[in-house]
């Protein structure tokens, strides 16, 4: 909500933004002191919490106070959540007494809850104030550091939330009326413990600028504003995307995550998938005899099983995203299954035809597949339809199963689905081959 202040400023703000990513440690502190103080402050305020934490811990002691005091209490709490617990006292000491209390209270909430996102400062009024008095009272209040300037909350003596008025309401009503007469009393509000993903949905649905956060007794604890929600939605999307790639969500940006952590976050899933994929080795050992008789079968193996994995990835991606944006819920499973069965047959048919043609073309030019090439082509065609079909079914139903088990459907990642489908695809392929090639190749 800050505007750059002069023509030179906006230039050096942009320059600062430009060089920032390639600077490290000490250089960043120097860069921060290069432009005028207001520019540096604006720049500091728009940095991510990670960068703010970085700067605050590296600043010389004498400088820390003026920079940490720039932050509103919710942002200061975010910074503290990033630095080591041992450093908390050394940073908290620089805050003024009331802010320190607010920040300490915020630290008690989980980072991902409404309580962890809210700003404990908001404009407040009593219900029996006349409007003109309220307006001049607010003029004094707005000079303090109140981030949320869109709504004013009406509280009784016990801090219970009675209603809300917007600045626009104040503007347009008769100044002789009381707040009670113009306040809106049915308010969409969030519980302290509401998960940030649910909170994001609330904002998206009602297009609010701010949502009040109350405790179980309807006492106002703070306000979450839409600018924090924009960050939350990006964060949640990043988490989902990383899960879809079979990576445990990183807590920090990719480049800031240490290589050791990066390996740790990936080794877990990769090993699980590897163990799952070992089943293919076991399954294949049952078909060792067939492979020995007809090596041609082995040639198409990667092609067949990867097609199942790919169609499964497509299906799971579509279903997981539709679930995440609230478009489908558990009860839609059968409608989705019908769509995916049909899609699987159609897509399998397309690939089957391509595979069929490929065998005939290669046979014509290179005579690659011997006298039984028609049977091989039919085996390939039928296997592709079967494998793609189990791909779409497994890919689309796995997110429902995970969700039913109260697990995150986004864990049905492309590699996970592919691994599941590989074993099934292999069995389908060799079973169809055994059926069709008995007496000829086998």
Q: Restricting to residues 138-157, which ones interact with a copy of itself according to CB under 8 A? A: 138-139, 142-143, 149-150
Q: Which is nearer to a copy of itself, 278 or 407 (CB)?
A: 278
Structure tokens at 2: 């800050």
Compute the least distance from the CB of residue 432 to a copy of itself, in Å.
17
Q: How far is the CB of 142 from a copy of itself (least distance, A)?
A: 6
Rounded to a whole number of angstroms, the minimum distance from the CB of residue 310 to a copy of itself is 4
| Binder among 34, 156, 171, 364 for a copy of itself (CB under 8 A) | 171
Supply the minimum distance, in Å, between the C-beta of residue 124 and a copy of itself: 16
| Residues of this chain, 318-357, that bind a copy of itself according to CB under 8 A | 318-322, 325, 327-329, 332, 335-336, 339, 342-343, 346-347, 350-351, 354-355
Q: Are 129 and 179 in contact (CB under 8 A)?
A: yes
Say whether residue 386 binds a copy of itself (CB under 8 A): no
Round to whole Å and give the CA distance between 312 and 430: 20
Rg, the chain, Cα only: 30
Nearer to a copy of itself by Cβ, of 155 and 341: the residue is 341
Q: Which of residues 32-51 bind a copy of itself (CB under 8 A)?
A: 46
Pairing of strands 124-125, 151-155: parallel
Give the HSE-up count for residue 439: Cα atoms under 13 Å, Cβ half-sphere: 3
Token pair of 47 as six digits? 């940095």
If binding means CB under 8 A, how many residues of this protein chain bind a copy of itself?
124
CA distance readout (Å), 263 to 238, 258, 270, 414: 18, 9, 10, 19
Stretch that binds a copy of itself, among 61-69, 108-116, 214-222, 254-262 (CB under 8 A): 254-262
- Least distance between a copy of itself and beta carbon 205 (Å): 6
User: Would you say 52 or 413 has its CB closer to a copy of itself?
Assistant: 413
Stretch that binds a copy of itself, among 77-85, 92-100, 181-189, 190-198 (CB under 8 A): 181-189
* DSSP code of residue 83: S
How many Cα neighbours within 13 Å face the side chain of 173? 20
Residues 6+ apart with CB under 8 A from 383: 304, 425, 428, 429, 432, 433
Nearer to a copy of itself, 81 or 166 (CB): 166
Q: Confirm or reject binding of residue 247 to a copy of itself (CB under 8 A).
A: yes
Q: Closer to a copy of itself at the Cβ: 215 or 261?
A: 261
Which residue, 101 or 177, has its beta carbon nearer to a copy of itself?
Answer: 177
Site for a copy of itself contains 167 (CB under 8 A): yes
Cβ-based nearer residue to a copy of itself, 18 or 96: 18
Instruction: Tell the smallest beta-carbon distance from residue 384 to a copy of itself (Å).
Output: 8
Please give the residues from 75 up to 134 whose contact with a copy of itself meets the rule CB under 8 A. none
Structure token pair of residue 260: 């050791």
N residues, the chain? 442
Burial 138-154 (b: 16+ CB within 10 A, else e): beebeeeebbbeebbbb
Q: Nearest 5 degrees, angle CA 225-CA 228-CA 234?
A: 140
Q: How far is CA 54 from the centre of its chain?
A: 24
- DSSP 8-state symbol, 151: E
Q: Is 25 in the site for a copy of itself (CB under 8 A)?
A: no
Q: How far is the CB of 113 from a copy of itself (least distance, A)?
A: 20
On whether the CB atoms of residues 211 and 202 are closer than 8 A, the answer is yes
How far apart are CB 288 and a copy of itself at their closest, in Å?
Answer: 5
Q: What is the DSSP letter of 426?
A: H
Q: From the CB of residue 263, how many other CB atoms can be counted at a distance below 10 Å?
A: 12
Name which position in 28, 180, 358, 372 contacts a copy of itself (CB under 8 A). 358
| Residues in 217-246 that interact with a copy of itself by CB under 8 A | 226-227, 229-231, 233-234, 237-238, 240-242, 244-246
Question: Which residues have C-beta within 8 Å of that of residue 387, sequence separation ≥ 6?
Answer: 304, 305, 307, 308, 348, 421, 424, 425, 428, 429
Side-chain-side CA neighbours of residue 128 (13 Å): 2
Footprint (CB under 8 A) of a copy of itself, residues 263-302: 263, 266-267, 269-271, 273-275, 277-278, 280-281, 284-285, 288, 291-292, 295-296, 298-302
Q: Binders of a copy of itself among 400-439, rule CB under 8 A?
A: 413-415, 418-419, 422, 426
């Amino acid at each position: 909500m800050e505007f750059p202040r002069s023509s030179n400023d906006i230039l050096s703000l942009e320059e600062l933004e430009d060089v920032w990513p390639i600077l490290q440690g000490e250089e960043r502190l120097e860069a921060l002191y290069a432009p005028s103080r207001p520019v540096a402050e604006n720049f500091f305020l728009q940095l991510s919490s990670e960068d703010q934490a970085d700067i605050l811990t590296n600043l010389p002691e004498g400088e820390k106070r003026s920079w940490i005091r720039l932050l509103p209490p919710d942002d200061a709490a975010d910074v503290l959540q990033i630095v080591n617990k041992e450093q908390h006292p050394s940073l908290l000491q620089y805050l003024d007494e009331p802010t320190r209390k607010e920040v300490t209270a915020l630290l008690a909430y989980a980072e991902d809850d409404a309580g962890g996102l809210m700003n404990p400062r908001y404009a407040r009024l009593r219900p029996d104030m006349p409007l003109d008095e309220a307006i001049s009272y607010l003029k004094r209040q707005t000079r303090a550091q109140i981030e949320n300037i869109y709504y004013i909350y009406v509280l009784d003596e016990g801090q219970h939330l009675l209603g809300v008025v917007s600045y626009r309401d104040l503007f347009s009503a008769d100044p002789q009326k009381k707040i009670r007469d113009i306040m809106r009393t049915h308010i969409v509000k969030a519980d302290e413990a509401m998960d940030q993903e649910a909170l994001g949905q609330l904002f998206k649905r009602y297009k609010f600028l701010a949502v009040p956060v109350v405790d179980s007794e309807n006492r106002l604890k703070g306000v979450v504003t839409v600018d924090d929600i924009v960050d939350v939605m990006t964060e949640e999307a990043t988490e989902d995307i990383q899960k879809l790639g079979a990576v445990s969500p990183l807590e920090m940006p990719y480049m800031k995550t240490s290589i050791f952590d990066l390996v740790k976050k990936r080794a877990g899933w990769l090993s699980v998938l590897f163990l799952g994929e070992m089943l293919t080795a076991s399954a294949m050992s049952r078909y060792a005899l067939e492979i020995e008789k007809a090596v041609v079968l082995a040639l198409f193996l990667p092609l067949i099983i990867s097609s199942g994995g790919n169609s499964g990835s497509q299906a799971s991606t579509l279903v997981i995203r539709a679930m995440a944006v609230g478009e489908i819920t558990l009860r839609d499973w059968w409608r989705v299954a019908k769509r995916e069965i049909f899609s699987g047959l159609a897509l399998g048919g397309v690939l089957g035809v391509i595979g069929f043609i490929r065998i005939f073309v290669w046979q014509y030019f290179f005579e690659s597949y011997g006298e039984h090439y028609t049977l091989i082509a039919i085996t390939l065609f039928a296997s592709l339809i079967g494998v793609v079909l189990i791909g779409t079914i497994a890919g689309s139903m796995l997110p429902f199963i995970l969700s039913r088990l109260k697990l995150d459907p986004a864990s049905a990642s492309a590699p996970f689905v592919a691994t599941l489908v590989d074993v099934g695809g292999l069995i389908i392929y060799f079973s169809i081959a055994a059926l069709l090639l008995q007496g000829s190749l086998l």
